[in-house]
Structure 1
Amino acid sequence: MQVDSLDRWPFRKVLIVNRGEIALRVIRACRELGLRSVAVYSDVDRDALHVRMADEAYHIGPAQATQSYLNIPALIEVAERSGAEAVHPGYGFLAENAEFVRACQRAGLIFVGPPVEAQLAMGEKTAARRTAKAAGVPIVPGAMSDVEDNQLALETARDLGYPILLKAAAGGGGKGIRLVREERELLSSLRAARSEAQSAFGDARVYLEKAITPARHIEVQFIADTHGNVVHLGERECSIQRRHQKLIEECPSPIMDAELREQMTSATLQLIRSIGYVNAGTAEFLVGPDRSFYFLEVNARVQVEHPVTEWCTGVDLVQEQLRVAAGLPLSFTQDDIVLRGSAIECRVSAEDPDNRFLPATGIVTALQEPSGPGVRVDSSLYAGLQVPLYYDPLLSKLIVWGKDRAQAIARMRRALAEYKIVGVRTTLPFASWLMEQPRFIAGDMSTDYIAEEWDTRKEKQLAEEQANESEPSSEQIAAIAASLLMETRAREERLRKHPAEESQEKRSHWRERGWKEAIWRV
């Protein structure tokens, strides 16, 4: 789109209330459209890449998200100071916070996302479940409202039957979710889920859902404008996840056929039309072994994995978000959407896959990002970056496209081999391992894949290492044998020279026999 088309737009400057790679993604979309961008940053993000690339940047507070990126008054003040007319929330933080949308409206700002009504109907997960049920969309069995009372939680869990999931009512991105297998785990898990939800979203509400296993996690991307156009952009496979956080996503799903795609996309559009939704969003589903699907939630925002859909459809979703927020119609119709080829995204996070994916920190001392045909890197990395522990550990996203899934996997292998991040442990080794696994290559996966394949493999390796530590190595055995042989020869020489010692040696011969038996046992 050319700059002169902005004559029709009600805004020229966009405040981006986020950080990291998604802030950079929005900055680039604004720049291509001729819009000016305004960044915000906390104490630890003063030197971040999104701060350097934005047209303007403003400090908003300490490192803690509650005092910076979740600080609504501070963000509204920046909008007023900078003269921004629109606000893009990215994903996470305040992206699905209805109170923030209201604050933007009161300040006369255009929110680049769904209106308050849609936020309340879909952004809040229990409300979304009620709305989906009313629209005739199948949902996962579970509570239809948050459970503030522990006794009610216990009773609901007993009715559903274990295992169950605890999920943050206002959440997304896998935050505030706990799998509970037995009743004795429930209350402690509730406390942990509420605490994480409060920290991540400023909202501690939690609800219960029946855990469906094994299952695939499939989501449908959609976008709607203010002119009555509602379009889906196909589906994404998001089953490779740990602790309910996605690690690998791809478009299209290997399990999908025309019939299942039609059923899931039709259900999605039916749900979205029923609430008058506007802007981009994603409907998430679980698909069981019998190919039955169940609605989980709607993410009322752009998602981390949107690039795989962009590559297979040719649609710039962030630019379309800005167009819709400006009151313009979508630049395409449903008939224009054809999925071409296959795209895979690997999330590159500051986590140690060899140590249960625990968060890592450090300074990026050297960096080499991949490139070449069919390779895209959405990144906030640079050499010298201090990786903080205060926020989501996502550092970058490596996305590849191929004419089919086999070529996409081959390109991902090549790109991963080129990607070098020195100074911080990342999930790159896990992604490289996954691209070689027969089950993944065959498209055979579920949300339990990592537990079944990676975690089991690591447990076996640990057991072998512990066993090896308790047993002598072959070199140690050889050294022991050589020492005993020399000792035996020395004894025989002494007896030859001093026969009187033979009776003394016979009494201690059991020791030699014991040593030899010890060698054979080893």
Structure 2
Amino acid sequence: MTQAADYYQNNPLIHRGRRLGQSPSAWVRSFACEDLKPLIVCRGPIRKEAMDVYAEMGISHFGILVSEKDSIAYPRALAPELRSLTDSRRVHRVPDYTGASKEERVERINQIIRIAKDNGYDSIFAGYGFMAEDGEFVDAIEKAGLTFIGPCSATQDGAGKKDEAKRTALNVDVSVTPGIDNVTARTLAKKHPSREKLLALVKAEGLDCDPKLRKDQIISLEDLADHILYASYAKGIDLFSVEELCAQVQQEVAAMFTKYPRSRVRLKAIGGGGGKGQRILGAALLTAKKLDDTTIQQAASEAPGLVREILNEVKANGVGDNKNVLVELNIEQTRHNEIQLLGNGDWCIALGGRDCSLQMHEQKLLEVSVTHEGLLAAIATAGAAGKQAEVKALESDLKVLQHMEEESERFGKAVGLDSASTFECIVDRDRHFFMEVNTRIQVEHRVTELCYSLKFTNPEDPDDFFVVESLVEAMALLARHKKRLPRPERIVRFNASVEARLNATDASLSPNAGGVIRYWSKPIQGEVRDDQGISMLNPDTCQFMKYNVAGAYDSNIALLLTTGNDRLESYERLAEVIRSTTINGDNLATNLEFHFGLVNWFLGRNVNAKPTTRFVVPYLTLVGTLKEEANKLDPLFAFVQMKKQYAKRIEAAFPSNPQAARRMSQVLDRKGILITRPMERLLGNPHLLSGWLSMNTKNFRLEKGKIVWLRNPLGVLSETYEFLHMSYRPHKPAADNIWDHDNELLQESLDFYRTLREHFGLARDEYFKLNDILKQEEPQGGFDEDTWGQIRSAHFGYEAGLELLGMLFLIGENVKFWELRVEEDLEITIPDYLTDPDLQARMKKVLVPPPATRADEIVAACGGMYYSQEAPGMPPFVTEGMHFEKGQPLYIIEVMKMFNKICAPFSGTIDKVIMQGGDGTIVQKGQPLFKITPDEIFVDVDPIEVERQTRTRTTEYLNAVL
């Protein structure tokens, strides 16, 4: 297959672009969508993308839905897309998108349909959020005579619900994760343990069940119970209590622990998504000394509380809601891979894969393409380098990808897939297990469409075709033309792509809502940025407009993507994009620097490495240890102490030339800020330090506790300024730029060594040879004695003080930074100590210290919506006069659609609940919640003692590098 640019160049008559109605081909024109009239009922990057795609397709009659939380005032715009949509008649408002309860959800569905019909829309696009996978919503749209731009209600029911999808997968020979998909049916069958009792229940509740099922003597008790449950959902009644469901789940979990010892179990709501509605339990069993029934039952006892959390999180705790929860084996060494699917009901095509293993709290962070072309290129590169273990690992991935694509197409045809969906799998080395299907477009869909475009060819004429590069466009085409669309051919655009999710999270990746973006640099060449329109300038003033990051929605701000001929090139481009991005504001925290460190970690190891879903937390813990150690060092103090030692060196080096000694001392003085300024930046940000250490892994070695440079440290210093985006650019402010006099000194020194290398005929990486030459007292290279002396003294001066950079390597060595490594077979070794929950919790606080508080109060750990209880109707976690233990839940904060249970950092007694407003109240980070009496008295740290310890530790590092 050819690359996209070559393809278009070699086919000058190809119809490219989205205005199919303007094509000279009658067949192509027949697929125009200008008459489609969609209402966009999603938000975030996908809403802006849909608006852009529809406009490019020539669709002029489209509108958007905004909630009350989406302000239309420019200064506080949560919907920055409104800046480009000047026709207010195309903006429609609702209180919220989905409603807080089942009744409100039904009301909202009817309201959205009414808005569509009253305003002349014929279709609805729900993107990847809110109601995109709501079968009830889609069914209501279809019954109203409207078109849903996405999978139809039949596909939603057959594939969108996790339990139904798993049963379909089993029927079409798709590998599935071991577990139970009908715990609600088992709960009902246990409560009414015979066919006669179940049928009596149907009669007593007046349920509308298929008469054939009543007469079926072969159907299993659980299957009959399952059909009865669906009838109860239609009537809006419950046939068992949440307590009975929780007891059944606990029983099933205990059985799973017994069947699969030393394993954890995952609970998943059937209607969850995006990380919501999932919990894992059984961590204590992984390290338990003894696995007896008591230990297992104790671990399983966590299940009831987690079930309530799950149902509460996905809002499935109302009367008549489907409360089914999957109970699955948690595959520990897992990678999260998914296949992009597209179908029209007759055909189904797989469009390659995506590795989404780099995630935390079930939220994806970095997503990477997995394609046949990319893997074949990687195999060829590894083979040429003689890396046979890597070749074998990549060949295994290629086989797994092929099997996943085959199974996904089989599954898609089985459920009559008629739009875009995603087939998600767990990959464990050379095995894979089907997990679920997302019956919607995914957040990371661009990772696929940047790798493949779709060629639709006239069945009657192979020279008559059109090419589609957007999955949003493909979904519109399928919605408008259905089965008329022929099965497309996928065409390679790029072998690799990668996406970083820019989220409103702090350095520990905890949500950080409420900040304001005041500036965002422009995208650079090769960057694909989906940012909801935040970077759009004010249409009247052409100035950047501030944007409020709200806690009402998920934490995603934007998606940053790059492409490449291979994964290495796509990662290098992403590193450059992130390095060049400046985003700042008030109370603003993002994961931009986390991504920079992470991407450079892989660039410094191997971009083809196979991280599992367990990777990010240990990696983040390791970064925390860097921060903890870096906090102990003072580079300015180190420089002053180093100067004192250098005074003796200079005197010894130039005993008969005091003028040269004085000149050396002056040069060293000039270099103070040049060296310490980037060091302070790295020491102050452990994510940057992680990336820097990773990229410089091959630039040093340790010999008997001493740093030995493997390349010129001046080159490393220059690249450090580039790495930190502090290299000289006249237009940049001084705070973000190398200072003029420092840049002059740095360039002067680099020119000096460049000239010397050229004189001696040495390559850039032959630092050792040049260094050995410069150690010779006898003139070398044809220089006279006087010139040679000047050269050697200049060399001494230019390199003086650069030993300080070695302190950064020692930090990495002391915290065992390089023990988190990629093996030859691409598996990643995670040291055991990084999986210690206590260390992980402590390093989280090192990365982001908790808000300052008095000794007699507990304050909100973060901003968000406060809840005092686990679920509606449950007792509060704590009350006045209650004693609490360390680790005991105190309250829940809902922020950016995730529920965070906050546990006590120490033990004590609740003297008074000072939180005002009750459940559902918005609180700010650091807001006092409880007056308490701690069990232990906390003693403040003496700042004088802290400074003494810092200087002592700094001196130890300095002695190791000098």
> Is TM more than 0.5 here?
yes
Question: After alignment, is 235-244 or 31-40 more displaced?
Answer: 31-40
Is the CA contact (8 Å cut-off) linking 1:360 and 1:426 kept in structure 2?
Answer: no
Q: Match for 2:328 among 209, 220, 240?
A: 209
Q: Map 1:94-493 to 2 at 5 A.
A: 94-147=131-184, 149-161=245-257, 162-181=263-282, 182-198=299-315, 205-226=324-345, 228-252=346-370, 255=394, 257-289=397-429, 291-314=430-453, 315-328=469-482, 333=487, 335-338=489-492, 340-352=494-506, 354-372=507-525, 374-380=526-532, 381-382=534-535, 383-423=545-585, 424-438=588-602, 439=605, 441-458=607-624, 461-462=627-628, 476=948
Two-structure CA RMSD over aligned residues (Å): 3.0
- How big is the shift at 1:456? 3.7
Structure 2: 5+ residue stretches without partners: 1-17, 22-28, 73-78, 185-241, 258-262, 283-298, 376-393, 454-468, 536-544, 633-841, 847-940, 953-962
Bigger relative contact order (CA 8 A; separation at least 6): 1
What do the CA deviations read for 1:393-435 (whole angstroms, capped 9, x no partner)? 1111000011111111111011001222212211111111111
Secondary structure at the aligned position of 1:71 is classed as helix
- How big is the shift at 1:50? 2.7
Secondary structure at the aligned position of 2:530 is classed as strand
Secondary structure at the aligned position of 1:46 is classed as coil
What do the CA deviations read for 1:100-131 (whole angstroms, capped 9, x no partner)? 01111122110011111110111101110111
Is 1:33 the counterpart of 2:57? The answer is yes
- How big is the shift at 1:442? 4.1
Equivalents in 2 of 1:93, 1:320: separation in Å? 21
Equivalents in 2 of 1:69, 1:20: separation in Å? 23
Per the alignment, residue 508 of structure 1 pairs with none
Equivalents in 1 of 2:176, 2:37: separation in Å? 40
- How big is the shift at 1:260? 2.2
- How big is the shift at 1:385? 1.3
- How big is the shift at 1:355? 3.4
Equivalents in 1 of 2:251, 2:326: separation in Å? 13
Give the counterpart letter for 1:385 in structure 2.
Y
Cα distance change of structure 1 residues 367 and 270 upon mapping to structure 2, 3 Å threshold: same
Per the alignment, residue 46 of structure 1 pairs with 71
Is the CA contact (8 Å cut-off) linking 1:320 and 1:331 kept in structure 2?
Answer: no
Cα distance change of structure 1 residues 475 and 196 upon mapping to structure 2, 3 Å threshold: closer
Is the CA contact (8 Å cut-off) linking 2:34 and 2:58 kept in structure 1?
Answer: no
Is the CA contact (8 Å cut-off) linking 1:17 and 1:69 kept in structure 2?
Answer: no
- How big is the shift at 1:3? 6.1
What do the CA deviations read for 1:4-52 (whole angstroms, capped 9, x no partner)? 3478659521101111111111111111111132101112212312333
Structure 1: 5+ residue stretches without partners: 481-522
What do the CA deviations read for 1:316-339 (whole angstroms, capped 9, x no partner)? 111000000012568775643447
Secondary structure at the aligned position of 2:129 is classed as coil
Secondary structure at the aligned position of 1:435 is classed as helix
Give the counterpart letter for 1:286 in structure 2.
I
Equivalents in 2 of 1:456, 1:145: separation in Å? 40
Give the counterpart letter for 1:39 in structure 2.
I
Give the counterpart letter for 2:280 in structure 1.
L
Cα distance change of structure 1 residues 261 and 53 upon mapping to structure 2, 3 Å threshold: same
Secondary structure at the aligned position of 1:223 is classed as strand
- How big is the shift at 1:386? 1.4
Per the alignment, residue 93 of structure 2 pairs with 59
Equivalents in 2 of 1:152, 1:454: separation in Å? 36
Equivalents in 1 of 2:98, 2:583: separation in Å? 26
Is the CA contact (8 Å cut-off) linking 1:364 and 1:422 kept in structure 2?
Answer: yes
Question: After alignment, is 126-135 or 255-264 more displaced?
Answer: 255-264
- How big is the shift at 1:229? 2.5
- How big is the shift at 1:476? 3.2
Secondary structure at the aligned position of 1:377 is classed as strand
Per the alignment, residue 815 of structure 2 pairs with none
Equivalents in 2 of 1:99, 1:63: separation in Å? 15
- How big is the shift at 1:455? 2.8
What do the CA deviations read for 1:203-223 (whole angstroms, capped 9, x no partner)? 654322110011111100010
- How big is the shift at 1:95? 0.4
What do the CA deviations read for 1:31-88 (whole angstroms, capped 9, x no partner)? 1111132101112212312333346111111588546999212211221222110101
Is the CA contact (8 Å cut-off) linking 1:306 and 1:317 kept in structure 2?
Answer: yes
Secondary structure at the aligned position of 1:154 is classed as helix
- How big is the shift at 1:280? 0.6
Per the alignment, residue 108 of structure 2 pairs with 71
Cα distance change of structure 1 residues 204 and 22 upon mapping to structure 2, 3 Å threshold: farther
Is the CA contact (8 Å cut-off) linking 2:347 and 2:413 kept in structure 1?
Answer: no
Residue correspondences, number: 476
Cα distance change of structure 1 residues 437 and 11 upon mapping to structure 2, 3 Å threshold: same
Give the counterpart letter for 1:449 in structure 2.
F
Secondary structure at the aligned position of 1:360 is classed as coil
Q: TM-score, normalised by structure 1?
A: 0.84
Is the CA contact (8 Å cut-off) linking 1:250 and 1:344 kept in structure 2?
Answer: yes
Is the CA contact (8 Å cut-off) linking 1:348 and 1:395 kept in structure 2?
Answer: yes
Cα distance change of structure 1 residues 458 and 63 upon mapping to structure 2, 3 Å threshold: farther
Secondary structure at the aligned position of 1:397 is classed as strand
Is the CA contact (8 Å cut-off) linking 1:323 and 1:330 kept in structure 2?
Answer: no
